[in-house]
A and B are shown apart, each in its own frame.
Chain A
Amino acid sequence: MSISFDGVVILDGLDLTVADGEVVALLGPSGCGKTTLLRIIAGLETGHSGQVLIDGNDVTAVPPERRGVGLVFQNLALFPHLNVAGNISFGLGCKDEEKVAAMLQMVGLAGFEQRRIETLSGGEAQRVALARALIAEPAIILLDEPLASLDADLKLTLADDVRGILKKSGTTTIHVTHDLAIADRISDRVVELGPVRSDESDE
Chain B
Amino acid sequence: MRRVWLHSIPALLLTLLVIAPFAIAVVRLLSASEVGLIEAFARLDTRYQTKDALAFSLQLAAVSTIVTVLAGLPLAWWLGRYSWPQHRLIRALLTTPFVVPSMVATIGFISLLGPQSWLAQTAGIDVWYSLTAIVIAHTWYNVALVVRLVEPAIARLDPSLEEAARLLPSGDTAYKRAVRLWWPVIRPNLAAAATLTFVFSFTSFALVRHLGGPGLYTIERAIAERPFAGISGVDAGAVDSEIVLALGLLQLLVLVFALWLLTEFQRRGRMWLPLATEKLTRKRLPRSVHRPLIMGFALAGAMAPLWFIIAGSFSVQGEASLEAWRIAISGERSEWSLIPALTNTVRFAVLTMLIAVPLAWLSAWSVSTLETQGRWPRLYARLLDVLVMLPLALSAVMVGYGVLFGLSHLSTTLMMVWWLPLLAHLVIALPFAMRVLLPAMRSLDKSYLEVARTLGASPMKTLFRVHVPLLRGPLIVAGILAFAISLGEFGATWLLWNTPDWTTLPVLVDRAFWRPYQPLARPVGHVAATMLLLVTVALFIIAERFRVAGQEGEF
Given known A79-B466, A90-B465, contact A132–B447 (CB-CB < 8 A): no
B454 CB within 8 Å of chain A: yes
Interface residues on chain B, number (Cβ under 8 Å): 18
Given known A69-B454, A133-B455, A136-B456, contact A75–B447 (CB-CB < 8 A): yes
Whether A132 and B455, one on each chain, are in contact in the complex, defined by CB atoms closer than 8 angstroms, is yes
A181 to B459, CA, bound (A): 38
A146 CB within 8 Å of chain B: no
B458 CB within 8 Å of chain A: yes
B450: chain A residues at CB < 8 Å are 39, 42, 44, 64, 71, 73, 77
Given known A79-B466, A79-B470, A81-B469, contact A73–B453 (CB-CB < 8 A): no
Given known A77-B445, A79-B470, A81-B470, contact A65–B451 (CB-CB < 8 A): no
Most chain A CB atoms below 10 A, which of B453, B454, B466: B454
Whether B448 and A90, one on each chain, are in contact in the complex, defined by CB atoms closer than 8 angstroms, is no
B185 CB within 8 Å of chain A: no
Whether A90 and B453, one on each chain, are in contact in the complex, defined by CB atoms closer than 8 angstroms, is no
A39: chain B residues at CB < 8 Å are 450
Q: Per-position contact with B for A121-140: 1 when CB-CB < 8 Å, else 0?
A: 00000000000110010000
Q: Per-position contact with B for A26-45: 1 when CB-CB < 8 Å, else 0?
A: 00000000000001001110
A164 CB within 8 Å of chain B: no
A75: chain B residues at CB < 8 Å are 445, 447
A13 CB within 8 Å of chain B: no
Which residues in chain B, 421-468, are within 8 Å of chain A measured between CB atoms? 445, 447-448, 450-459, 465-466
Q: Which of the residues B447, B448, B457 comes within 8 Å of A65, measured between beta carbons?
A: B457
A81: chain B residues at CB < 8 Å are 469-470, 472
B453: chain A residues at CB < 8 Å are 43-44, 63-65
B3 vs chain A, min Cβ distance (A): 11
Whether A65 and B445, one on each chain, are in contact in the complex, defined by CB atoms closer than 8 angstroms, is no
Q: Per-position contact with B for A75-103: 1 when CB-CB < 8 Å, else 0?
A: 10101110000000011000000000000
A91 to B452, CA, bound (A): 8
Whether A90 and B447, one on each chain, are in contact in the complex, defined by CB atoms closer than 8 angstroms, is no
A90: chain B residues at CB < 8 Å are 452, 455, 457, 465
Number of A-B contacts (CB under 8 A): 58
A51 to B448, CA, bound (A): 26
Q: Which residue of A lies closest to B455 (CB)?
A: A91
Whether A73 and B447, one on each chain, are in contact in the complex, defined by CB atoms closer than 8 angstroms, is yes
A71 to B455, CA, bound (A): 8
B447: chain A residues at CB < 8 Å are 73, 75, 77
B457: chain A residues at CB < 8 Å are 65, 90-91
Whether A77 and B451, one on each chain, are in contact in the complex, defined by CB atoms closer than 8 angstroms, is yes
* Consensus secondary structure, chain B interface: helix
A69 to B469, CA, bound (A): 24
Q: Which of the residues A43, A63, A80, A136 comes within 8 Å of B455, measured between beta carbons?
A: A136
A136: chain B residues at CB < 8 Å are 455-456
A55 to B454, CA, bound (A): 18
Interface residues on chain A, number (Cβ under 8 Å): 23
A80: chain B residues at CB < 8 Å are 470
B7 vs chain A, min Cβ distance (A): 16
Whether A65 and B470, one on each chain, are in contact in the complex, defined by CB atoms closer than 8 angstroms, is no
Whether B448 and A79, one on each chain, are in contact in the complex, defined by CB atoms closer than 8 angstroms, is yes
A43 to B458, CA, bound (A): 13
Whether A71 and B470, one on each chain, are in contact in the complex, defined by CB atoms closer than 8 angstroms, is no
Whether A70 and B454, one on each chain, are in contact in the complex, defined by CB atoms closer than 8 angstroms, is yes
Whether A91 and B445, one on each chain, are in contact in the complex, defined by CB atoms closer than 8 angstroms, is no
Q: Which of the residues A43, A63, A73 comes within 8 Å of B451, measured between beta carbons?
A: A73
Given known A77-B445, A77-B447, A77-B448, contact A71–B454 (CB-CB < 8 A): yes
Which residues in chain B, 398-430, are within 8 Å of chain A measured between CB atoms? none
A66 to B459, CA, bound (A): 11
B325 vs chain A, min Cβ distance (A): 43
A108 vs chain B, min Cβ distance (A): 21
A94 vs chain B, min Cβ distance (A): 12
Q: Which residue of A lies closest to B449 (CB)?
A: A77
A7 vs chain B, min Cβ distance (A): 11
Whether B458 and A65, one on each chain, are in contact in the complex, defined by CB atoms closer than 8 angstroms, is yes
A40 to B42, CA, bound (A): 64
Q: Which of the residues B445, B454, B472 comes within 8 Å of A44, measured between beta carbons?
A: B454
B454: chain A residues at CB < 8 Å are 42-44, 64-65, 67, 69-71, 133
B465: chain A residues at CB < 8 Å are 90
Whether B456 and A65, one on each chain, are in contact in the complex, defined by CB atoms closer than 8 angstroms, is yes
Q: Which residue of B lies closest to A132 (CB)?
A: B455
A90 to B452, CA, bound (A): 8
B452: chain A residues at CB < 8 Å are 79, 90
14 additional contacts, CB 8 Å, given A65-B457, A81-B472?
A43-B453, A64-B450, A64-B454, A65-B453, A65-B455, A65-B456, A65-B458, A70-B454, A75-B447, A77-B448, A91-B455, A91-B457, A133-B454, A136-B456
14 A/B residue pairs, CB under 8 Å, sorted by A: A42-B454, A63-B453, A64-B453, A65-B458, A66-B456, A69-B454, A71-B450, A71-B451, A73-B451, A75-B445, A75-B447, A77-B447, A90-B452, A133-B454
Question: Which A residues form the contact surface with B (CB < 8 A)?
Answer: 39, 42-44, 63-67, 69-71, 73, 75, 77, 79-81, 90-91, 132-133, 136
6 nearest A-B pairs in the assembled complex, by CB-CB distance: A91-B455, A77-B447, A64-B453, A77-B451, A71-B454, A81-B469
